[in-house]
Amino acid sequence: MPTLEIDGQEVQVEEGSTIIQATEKLGIYVPRYCYHPGMSIAGSCRMCMVEVENMPKLAIACYTPVSDGMKVSTTSEKVLKGRRDMLEFLLHNHPLDCPVCDQSGECDLQNFYMEHGRYQSRFVENKFKKRKAFPIGPHVVLDQERCILCTRCTRFSDEVSKSHELGVFNRGDRSVIDLNPGKTLDNPYSGNVIDICPVGALTEREFRFQCRVWYLSTEESVCPGCSRGCNISIHYNQRRGYKAGGRRLQRLKPRFHPDINTWWMCDEGRFGYGFADQNRFEFPMLRLDGELQYAEWDEALDKAADTLKQAVDEHGAGSIGVIASPQLSNEELYLADKVFRQGLGVENVGFENPWQKDGFSDDFLIKGDKNPNTRGAREMGWDGDIKAILEKAASGEIKVLYLFLHDFAEEEAQALLDKAGTVIFHGSNQNHSSAKSDLVLASAVWAEKDGTFTNFEGRVQRFKAALQPLDESRRDVDILLDLAQRLGQQLVYNNAEDLFMEWFGMTYQDMNPQGENIENRGGSMPPPSSGSAGEQPSAN
C-alpha cells in the first residue's frame, strides 16, 4: 500500500488508486466536472488538476495513479491558477443565464467559480449559440448552451443504463450533447443524468421552475417504491406554500449506499412521490347517510374501538379481520401485532394483496415487488390468505374488517367488499377500498413519519420524517396507540423509536454506524443475525 503526502498530510491508499481517491480519503475536495466515481474516467474537463512534485505539468487527479512517496499539492499557486484558467475557458461559451436557470444554487459552475474564478472577465466575443431548453425524454430537458461537455450523461447512458441514448456531436466549441438518432431518453434510470449533470444543462421537467433550490430542506429517507430500498433524500419545501400548487414534497434524490443503490435510483421511485401531496385523506371520515363525511378524531376512534369491542364481545375474535400492508413500517406492523393479534386475539390476518402482480423489474435496481416492506411484514408473521378473509367478511363470518392502505380495485374484491360488514379503512390516500369503507382513519405517508423498512435482502433501513402529517391526518403509530387505549390495552410507547427499541433492541442512533465509513450509510442495518452492515453482500 503506497503512502503519499497530500497538502502536507500523509495518507496510505490501496495500490492502483488515483490521486482523487486519496484526497477523498483525507476529506480534501478537489473540484471536478467529468469525474464520477460510478463511471469510467474521461479526464477531459481538466478541472481536477493538482501539482505533483517532480512532474513538469499539472496532473489530473482523477486519472493519475498514486505512487509511494508522492508529494501532491491541491492548493499551490499553480493549481489555483490552473483552476482559474479552466473556469475561464468553461464560461467562455456559457450563457450565464443563472437568474433563470433551475440549477442555480446547486451548480458546480457557480460553486467553483465563486471559490476559484477570475472575477475580472476578459471575454468580449459573442458566445456560440446552441439549442436551448428542449425535452429529450419524459423527465429531462436539455439546454446545450449551458453544457460544459463533461460527458457524464453520455457515459451514464453507455455504462450504467446501457441504453446508449446520448452522444456528443460536432467538434470543437460547436460540440453538443444530443440524442443519438432515433432515440429518446426514456430508459428506467433517465432521471440520474439530472443528478450527475454538474451544470444546468440537464434539468428535471417535473421540478423546473417549481421551487428555487435554496428554499428546499432535505431529509434522509428510503424509497418506498419497491423492495430494493434505495437510499434517498427527500427534498421538500415548506417555506413557499403558494408555489407549485402547494406541493410540499418537491423531489427525491438518490443517496449513496455502497451495497444497495450506489449513486443511482430508478425513475419509477424518483417520480413516484405524487401520492404524498395528492388525493390524500386530510381528516378522519365516517359514513353517514351513505356518504363519507368529516369526523373528529375522537369520534372516529371511539367508533372504531366500539365496533371492534362489540364484535369481539358478541362474536369472538374470529369476527375480526385485519389486513396489514407491506407499505407499513416495521414499527407499525409490530404495534399492530400488539394491538390486534396479541391484544384482541385476531387470527384472520394477512398482508399481501393477492391480486397484485409483480411489476417491471430488471437486474439492476428495480424489483418486481413494489412494496418497501414485504420482507418485514412476512418476518413479523403477517402472512395470511386475504381472499379468504374477504370471503369470510362477505359471508358475514367476519363482522369487522380493519384494512390498512390496500387498494382493492379488482371487480372480485370490490364485490366482496360490497357485501362485507363494517370496513375500517386505515390509510393515507383515497382509493377503491376506501370508497367501500364505513370509517376512515386518515394516516400519514412515509415522508411524514419515522420508521424502518426491511428490504428484500433483509436490510433494516431507517427513514426519517421530513414533513408534518398533512392537515388533520396522523401518524399510524399515534392512531394505533389511541385505538389501543380505547380498547383498554396498556401500551406505553412514546413514538416509533420506542417500538423499534423493543423490537430491534437498539435506538435509531445506534443503527447509524458512525465513523465506520466516510460515506453516509444513513442508518441501514442488516438484520441482527447476519453480521455487520459492511459485510452484507449486495444481492440482486
Partner 1 sequence: MPLYTLISKDFYNEDARDANWYKQNRQGFEGAEKAFEMSPEDIISEVKTSNLRGLGGAGFPTGIKWGFVPKDSGKPIYLAVNADESEPGTFKDKYIMTWDPHRLIEGIIITCWAIKAHVAYIYIRGEYVRPYEHLQRAIDQAYEEGILGDKVMGRDFKLDVYIHRGAGAYICGEETGLLESLEGKKGWPRLKPPFPAVVGAFGSPTVVNNVETIAHVPEIIKQGGQWFADLGCEKNGGTRLMCVSGHVNKPDVYEIQLGTPLYELIYDHAGGIVDGKKMKAVIPGGSSAKVLTAEEADCDCSIEALQAAGSMLGSGGVMVMHEDTCMVKALQVITSFYAHESCGQCTPCREGTGWLLRTLNRLLRGDGHPSDVDTMLDLSGNMQGTSICALSEAAAWPVESFILKFREEFDYIARHGRSMVAEKQSVPA
Query: Minimum distance between the CB of residue 264 and partner 1, rounded to whole angstroms?
Result: 25
**Cα 386 from Cα 50, distance rounded (Å):** 63
In the bound state with partner 1, the residue whose beta carbon lies nearer, of 56 and 537, is 56
The helix or strand, by DSSP H or E, that contains position 49, with its residue range, turns out to be strand 49-52
Cell 406541493 -> residue:
247
In the bound state with partner 1, the residue whose beta carbon lies nearer, of 153 and 249, is 153
**Cα 51 from Cα 220, distance rounded (Å):** 37
In the bound state with partner 1, the residue whose beta carbon lies nearer, of 125 and 314, is 125
Query: Minimum distance between the CB of residue 184 and partner 1, rounded to whole angstroms?
Result: 21
Query: Minimum distance between the CB of residue 2 and partner 1, rounded to whole angstroms?
Result: 17
- Give, in order, the Cα–Cα distances in Å from 28 to each of 8, 24, 68: 12, 6, 19
Query: Minimum distance between the CB of residue 66 and partner 1, rounded to whole angstroms?
Result: 15
Query: Minimum distance between the CB of residue 135 and partner 1, rounded to whole angstroms?
Result: 24
- Give, in order, the Cα–Cα distances in Å from 500 to each of 441, 450, 528: 23, 10, 13
Can you tell me whether residue 243 is helix, strand or coil?
A: helix
Query: Minimum distance between the CB of residue 98 and partner 1, rounded to whole angstroms?
Result: 19
Residue 323 · residue 351 · CB < 8 Å: yes
In the bound state with partner 1, the residue whose beta carbon lies nearer, of 56 and 488, is 56
Q: Which three cell numbers stand for residue 82?
A: 490552473
Query: Minimum distance between the CB of residue 151 and partner 1, rounded to whole angstroms?
Result: 8
Question: What type of residue sits at position 235?
Answer: H
DSSP assignment of 325-381, as one string? -TTS-HHHHHHHIIIIIIII---EEE-S-TTPPP----SSS--S---TTHHHHHHTT
In the bound state with partner 1, the residue whose beta carbon lies nearer, of 149 and 266, is 149
Query: Minimum distance between the CB of residue 31 and partner 1, rounded to whole angstroms?
Result: 12
In the bound state with partner 1, the residue whose beta carbon lies nearer, of 84 and 486, is 84
- Give, in order, the Cα–Cα distances in Å from 399 to each of 319, 392, 499: 5, 9, 30
Query: Minimum distance between the CB of residue 196 and partner 1, rounded to whole angstroms?
Result: 18
CB neighbour list of residue 29: distance below 8 Å, 6 or more residues apart: 23
Contact footprint for partner 1 (CB under 8 A): 41-47, 49, 56-58, 63, 82, 85-86, 88-90, 92-93, 122-126, 128, 148-149, 167-168, 170-175
In the bound state with partner 1, the residue whose beta carbon lies nearer, of 138 and 167, is 167
CB neighbour list of residue 251: distance below 8 Å, 6 or more residues apart: 204, 206, 207, 235, 270, 273
In the bound state with partner 1, the residue whose beta carbon lies nearer, of 83 and 375, is 83
The helix or strand, by DSSP H or E, that contains position 419, with its residue range, turns out to be helix 411-419
In the bound state with partner 1, the residue whose beta carbon lies nearer, of 88 and 108, is 88
